[in-house]
């Protein structure tokens, strides 16, 4: 790795935060189709606080940094998104506790832990029309690319494509968790906003990774 694991972690989290803020309306409009429409607003408000508190986060290790971000997200993002996204960050932090440098295998472990946390907290699984339906396939693709020895740019390009295809495919699913589940078959025909958010985040990371400046 040419950059430190901490700087990589910072860049990823900053990109997630900027994506949440920049796409507030898009994510909200998607959620309004069969949900209560607050997904974009809640996510943006929470990650605005992450950006506002940015300089004060613990940077003693990637895990310590992620734990502080998780606390902000859990406490300041409303609705169901706060507990789910907060748990994802907290589980990711725990997966690399005590590590100063991170390998591709470590990143896979972080995303697996995040997905497991979301499953447990949201009582959801693949096929329930949630962000898991993009996150898990993207993680599977990441694991395959890491095993193949692909470089970071190729890995990000691949998992961004997988996440987008997977997010689009949620249009064919009936929601079984969250407010959208109350609409039954009416939830079929539109993609899950959380899955779309995962795709948009990974697409942004893929575009900006190689040309980024350290934060």
pLDDT for 120: 95
pLDDT digits (tens, 9 = 90+) for 162-208: 999 999 999 998 877 766 665 666 678 889 999 999 999 999 999 99
Q: What integer best gives the mean pLDDT of the chain? A: 91
| Measured distance CA(20)–CA(212) in Å, rounded | 18
Q: Measuring CA to CA, how many Å separate 85 from each of 78, 81, 100, 149?
A: 11, 6, 23, 29
Q: Name the phi and psi angles at 106, rounded to 5.
A: -65, -40
Q: With pLDDT > 70 as the criterion, what percentage of the chain qualifies?
A: 92
DSSP state of 166: H
Q: Report the topology of domain 5-208.
A: 1.25.40
Q: How confident is the model at residue 1 (pLDDT cuts 50, 70, 90)?
A: very low
Question: Residue range 13-28: average pLDDT?
Answer: 96
**This prediction's pTM:** 0.92
| Measured distance CA(29)–CA(191) in Å, rounded | 11
| Measured distance CA(14)–CA(54) in Å, rounded | 9
More confident position, 210 or 48: 48
pLDDT digits (tens, 9 = 90+) for 140-152: 999 999 999 999 9
In the predicted model, is pLDDT for residue 110 greater than 90?
Answer: yes
| Measured distance CA(196)–CA(92) in Å, rounded | 20
pLDDT for 3: 60
| Measured distance CA(94)–CA(135) in Å, rounded | 18
Q: Are 13 and 212 in contact (CB under 8 A)?
A: no
pLDDT digits (tens, 9 = 90+) for 45-88: 999 999 999 999 999 999 999 999 999 998 877 677 888 999 99
Q: How many residues does the chain have?
A: 215
Q: With pLDDT > 90 as the criterion, what percentage of the chain qualifies?
A: 76
Angle at which helices 193-208 and 132-148 pack, to 10 degrees?
A: 30
Nearest of 142, 170, 159, 151 to residue 199 by alpha carbon: 159
């Amino acid at each position: 790795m040419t950059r430190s694991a901490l700087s990589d972690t910072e860049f990823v989290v900053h990109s997630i935060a900027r994506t949440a803020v920049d796409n507030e309306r898009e994510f909200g409009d998607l959620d309004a189709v069969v949900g209560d429409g607050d997904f974009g607003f809640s996510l943006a408000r929470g990650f605005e606080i992450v950006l506002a508190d940015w300089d004060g986060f613990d940077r003693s290790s990637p895990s310590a940094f992620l734990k502080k971000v998780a606390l902000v997200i859990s406490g300041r993002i409303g609705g169901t998104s706060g507990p789910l996204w907060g748990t994802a960050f907290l589980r990711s932090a725990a997966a690399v506790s005590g590590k100063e440098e991170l390998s591709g295998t470590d990143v896979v472990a972080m995303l697996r832990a995040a997905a497991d946390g979301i499953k447990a907290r949201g009582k959801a699984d693949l096929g329930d029309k949630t962000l898991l339906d993009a996150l898990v396939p993207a993680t599977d693709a990441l694991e395959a690319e890491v095993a193949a020895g692909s470089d970071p740019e190729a890995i990000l390009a691949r998992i961004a494509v997988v996440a987008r295809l997977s997010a689009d495919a949620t249009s064919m699913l009936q929601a079984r968790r969250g407010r959208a589940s109350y609409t039954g078959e009416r939830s079929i025909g539109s993609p899950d906003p959380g899955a779309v958010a995962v795709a948009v985040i990974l697409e942004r990371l893929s575009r900006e990774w190689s040309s980024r400046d350290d934060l």
